[in-house]
Amino acid sequence: MDAGGIYSVDNRDGTYSLVKLLVVDPIAVHVCVYKERFPSRPTVADIESLKPGLMGDLNGIGMGHIPLSYGSFAEWRPKLITLSEVSDEELEGYKIWEAQGGGVF
């Protein structure tokens, strides 16, 4: 697993989402979960149109940063779709988590 990887993941409710690995460290993977949901596992991602979403969005919400143990991430049944760059803006949540000594799920 590498930072910048965009994966499809199983929501376990009959839908799939896309996540991006922001940081991979010895104890966790740090992901951005996009708000878009798909009825089947996506095979090609148009990353320019993906958005984490905001509270109150009618069509879904994502999360800009979630720290997950490797085991928790594996339970999402991730499948790599493509690789992309990770921007400084995308790392804002990770940097806050790191500064506060956050835990993992």
3-state DSSP assignment of residue 81: strand
Separation of CA 48 from chain center: 15
pLDDT tens-digit series, residues 57-92: 666 778 899 999 999 999 999 999 999 999 999 999
Inter-residue contact 19 to 38 (CB < 8 Å): no
How far the first Cα of the chain sits from its last, in Å, is 18
CB atoms within 10 A of CB 4: 16
> What was the pLDDT predicted at 27?
93
> Does residue 55 surpass a pLDDT of 70?
no
